[in-house]
Amino acid sequence: MERRRFLIGCGAGAALFASSKWRMMASPLSNLLPADNDHTFVLLFLRGGCDGLQLLAPISDEHYQDARPKSLKLSDGQGYRIDQEYQHTGFSFHPEASALKELYDNQDLAVIHACGLTNGTRSHFDAMHLIERGIEKNTSGHEGWMARYLKAIDSKSYIPGVSVSANLADSFTGYGKASSINNLADYNLMEGLRVPQLIKQMYSGDPIMGSAAEQTLETIQYLQTNLTDGQRADLERGIQGYPTDWSSRELSRSLQTVAQLIKMDAGAKIINVDYGGWDTHERQANVFPNLVKGLSESLGAFYNDISAKKDKVTVLVMSEFGRRLRSNKSGGTDHGHGNFMMALGGKVNGGKMFGEWPGLHPKTLDRGVDLAVTTDYRNVLSNILRNSMQFNNSSSIFPGFEGYSDLGFIQ
Amino acid sequence: MALDKALNRVTYGVLPEQLKKAEEQGWSNWVAAQLQRTTDDSTCDQMIQNISYEIEYKEGGRKKKKNLDLFRYFATSSEIWDALKDLDNPPEYLTQAGAIETALVTWTKAIHSEHQIFEMLVEFWHNHFNVSVQTEDYIAASFSIYDREVIRKNALGNFRTFTEDVAKSPCMLLYLDNAFSKSGPANENYARELFELHTLGAMHYYNHLYDDWKNVPVNIDGTAKGYIDEDIYEAARAFTGWTVGSGKTNHEVDLPSTGEFYYYDQWHDHYQKRVLGNEFKSHQNAMEDGQQVLDLVCYHKGTAIHLCTKLCQWFVSDTPSEELIAGAAAVWSQHAKADDQILKVVEYILLSEALMQNLQTKIKRPNHLVFSLARKIGLEPGIEWIWILSQMGWKQFSWPLPTGHPDKASYWINSDMLLKRWNCVPMMLYINMERGNKTRFMDETLKLEKTDIDSLINYWSMQLIGAELSSEIKREIERELLVEMEEMKGQEWAMLAKDYPDGLEYKLLQLVSMIALTPEFHKR
pLDDT digits (tens, 9 = 90+) for A345-398: 999 999 999 999 999 999 999 999 999 999 999 999 999 999 999 999 999 999
* Distance in Å from the first CA to the final CA of chain B: 16
Residues 6+ apart with CB under 8 A from B381: B104, B107, B108, B111, B374
Distance from CA of A119 to the nearest CA of B (A): 7
Mutation target to probe the B interface, by most B beta carbons within 10 A, among A25, A119, A168 is A168
Cα distances from A393 to residues A160, A385, A407, B270, in angstroms, run 18, 9, 17, 55
Q: Measured between CB atoms, which of A121, A192, A201 is closest to B426?
A: A192
State how far the Cα of B60 lies from the Cα of B93, in Å rounded to an integer: 12
Task: Give the residue from chain A lying closest to B211, CA to CA.
Answer: A367
State how far the Cα of B385 lies from the Cα of B104, in Å rounded to an integer: 9
State how far the Cα of B444 lies from the Cα of A36, in Å rounded to an integer: 57
H/E segment holding residue B274: strand B273-275
SS3 call for A180 = strand
Q: Measured between CB atoms, which of A208, A282, A367 is closest to B177?
A: A282
> Is B423's CB within 8 Å of A193's CB?
yes
> Is B426's CB within 8 Å of A193's CB?
yes
Task: Give the residue from chain A lying closest to B184, CA to CA.
Answer: A329
Cβ neighbours of B322 (radius 10 Å) = 11
Name all domains of chain A by residue range, CATH numbers in brackets: 28-184+227-396 (3.40.720)
Q: Which long-range contacts (CB under 8 A, 24 or more apart) does B4-7 make?
A: B4/B466, B5/B359, B5/B360, B5/B466, B6/B355, B6/B356, B6/B359
> Is A19's CB within 8 Å of B483's CB?
yes
Contact present, A20 and A190 (Cβ < 8 Å): no
> Is B510's CB within 8 Å of A335's CB?
no
Task: Give the residue from chain B lying closest to A11, CA to CA.
Answer: B503
B280 strand-pairing partners: B273
Q: Measured between CB atoms, which of B182, B185, B417 is closest to A167?
A: B417
State how far the Cα of A333 lies from the Cα of A292, in Å rounded to an integer: 16
Contact present, B243 and B179 (Cβ < 8 Å): yes
pLDDT of residue B1: 60
Per-residue b/e over B383-418, b at no fewer than 16 CB within 10 Å? eebbebbebbbbbbbbbbbbebbebebebbbbbbbb
Task: Give the residue from chain B lying closest to A165, CA to CA.
Answer: B416
No. of H helices and E strands in chain A? Answer: 13, 12
Distance from CA of B49 to the nearest CA of A (A): 33
Distance from CA of B180 to the nearest CA of A (A): 6
Task: Give the residue from chain A lying closest to B196, CA to CA.
Answer: A123
Q: Measured between CB atoms, which of B186, B418, B427 is closest to A190?
A: B427
Question: Per residue in A275-319, pLDDT tens?
Answer: 999 999 999 999 999 999 999 999 999 999 999 999 999 999 999
E strands present in B189-254: 242-246
> Of chain A residues 31-90, which have a CB less than 8 A from chain B?
none
* Per-residue model confidence as pLDDT tens for chain B (524 residues): 689 999 999 999 999 999 999 999 999 999 999 999 999 999 999 999 999 998 888 777 888 888 888 888 999 999 999 888 766 667 778 888 899 999 999 999 999 999 999 999 999 999 999 999 998 889 999 999 999 999 999 999 999 999 999 999 999 999 999 999 999 899 999 999 999 999 999 999 998 887 788 889 998 888 899 999 999 999 999 999 999 998 887 777 889 999 999 999 999 999 999 999 999 999 999 999 999 999 999 999 999 999 999 999 999 999 999 999 999 999 999 999 999 999 999 999 999 999 999 999 999 999 999 999 999 999 999 998 999 999 899 999 999 899 999 999 988 998 889 999 999 988 898 888 888 887 888 888 899 999 999 999 999 999 999 999 999 999 999 999 998 888 888 899 998 888 888 888 889 999 999 999 999 999 99
The closest of A199, A301, A221, A318 to A255, measured between CA atoms, is A301
State how far the Cα of A185 lies from the Cα of A237, in Å rounded to an integer: 10
Q: Is A126 an interface residue toward B (CB < 8 Å)?
A: yes
Task: Give the residue from chain B lying closest to A7, CA to CA.
Answer: B503
Question: Per residue in A148-164, pLDDT tens?
Answer: 999 999 888 889 999 99
List chain B residues with CB under 8 Å of A332: 177, 187
Contact present, A405 and A106 (Cβ < 8 Å): no
Contact present, B121 and B343 (Cβ < 8 Å): no
State how far the Cα of B48 lies from the Cα of A228, in Å rounded to an integer: 49
Instruction: Report chain A's mean pLDDT, rounded to a whole number.
Output: 88
State how far the Cα of B141 lies from the Cα of B401, in Å rounded to an integer: 20
List chain A residues with CB under 8 Å of B476: 195, 197-198, 201
Kindly tell me if the per-residue pLDDT of A11 is higher than 80.
no
Contact present, B207 and A123 (Cβ < 8 Å): yes
Amino acid making up residue A94: H
Distance from CA of A189 to the nearest CA of B (A): 6
Task: Give the residue from chain A lying closest to B514, CA to CA.
Answer: A193
Q: Does residue B96 or residue A95 have the better pLDDT?
A: A95
Q: Is A14 an interface residue toward B (CB < 8 Å)?
A: yes
Q: In this structure, what are the phi and psi dihedrals at residue A170, rounded to the nearest 5 degrees?
A: -60, -25
List chain B residues with CB under 8 Å of A122: 192, 207, 229, 232
Q: Measured between CB atoms, which of B187, B411, B487 is closest to A328?
A: B187
Task: Give the residue from chain B lying closest to A214, CA to CA.
Answer: B415
List chain B residues with CB under 8 Å of A220: 419
Mutation target to probe the A interface, by most A beta carbons within 10 A, among B135, B173, B213, B415 is B415
Q: Which long-range contacts (CB under 8 A, 24 or more apart) does B254-260 make?
A: B257/B81, B257/B85, B258/B77, B258/B78, B258/B81, B259/B77, B259/B78, B259/B80, B259/B81, B259/B84, B259/B85, B259/B138, B259/B142, B259/B170, B260/B77, B260/B78, B260/B81, B260/B170
Task: Give the residue from chain B lying closest to A190, CA to CA.
Answer: B423
Distance from CA of B29 to the nearest CA of A (A): 32
State how far the Cα of B524 lies from the Cα of B315, in Å rounded to an integer: 10
> Is A329's CB within 8 Å of B182's CB?
yes
Contact present, A164 and A271 (Cβ < 8 Å): yes
Tell me whether residue B332 is exposed, middle or buried, using C-beta atoms within 10 angstroms of its C-beta: 0 to 12, 13 to 18, 19 or more. buried
Task: Give the residue from chain B lying closest to A20, CA to CA.
Answer: B480
Distance from CA of B167 to the nearest CA of A (A): 18
Q: What crossing angle do the helices spanning B341-350 and B159-168 adopt, rounded to 10°?
A: 120
Mutation target to probe the B interface, by most B beta carbons within 10 A, among A143, A190, A214, A246 is A190
Kindly tell me if the per-residue pLDDT of A32 is higher than 50.
no
pLDDT of residue A33: 40
pLDDT of residue A141: 62
Across the A/B interface, how many CB contacts are shorter than 8 Å?
201
> Is A167's CB within 8 Å of B185's CB?
no
- The DSSP annotation for B127-167 comes to HHT---TTS-HHHHHTHHHIIIIIIIHHTTS-HHHHHHHHH
State how far the Cα of A388 lies from the Cα of B88, in Å rounded to an integer: 56
pLDDT of residue A25: 35
Q: Is A18 an interface residue toward B (CB < 8 Å)?
A: no
State how far the Cα of A23 lies from the Cα of A219, in Å rounded to an integer: 15
pTM score: 0.90
List chain B residues with CB under 8 Å of A197: 476
- DSSP class of A395: G
Mutation target to probe the B interface, by most B beta carbons within 10 A, among A184, A204, A211, A216 is A216
Count of residues for chain B?
Answer: 524
Q: Measured between CB atoms, which of A126, A208, A335 is closest to B202?
A: A126
Distance from CA of A167 to the nearest CA of B (A): 7
Cβ neighbours of A245 (radius 10 Å) = 11
B243 strand-pairing partners: B262
Question: Per residue in A164-200, pLDDT tens?
Answer: 988 889 999 888 889 999 888 789 998 878 899 999 9
| Mean pLDDT within A65-94 | 95
Q: Measured between CB atoms, which of A16, A163, A208 is closest to B413?
A: A208
List chain B residues with CB under 8 Å of A179: 414-416
The HSE-up count of residue B325 (CA atoms within 13 Å, CB side) is 19
List chain A residues with CB under 8 Å of B210: 120, 367
List chain B residues with CB under 8 Å of A166: 393, 416-417, 420
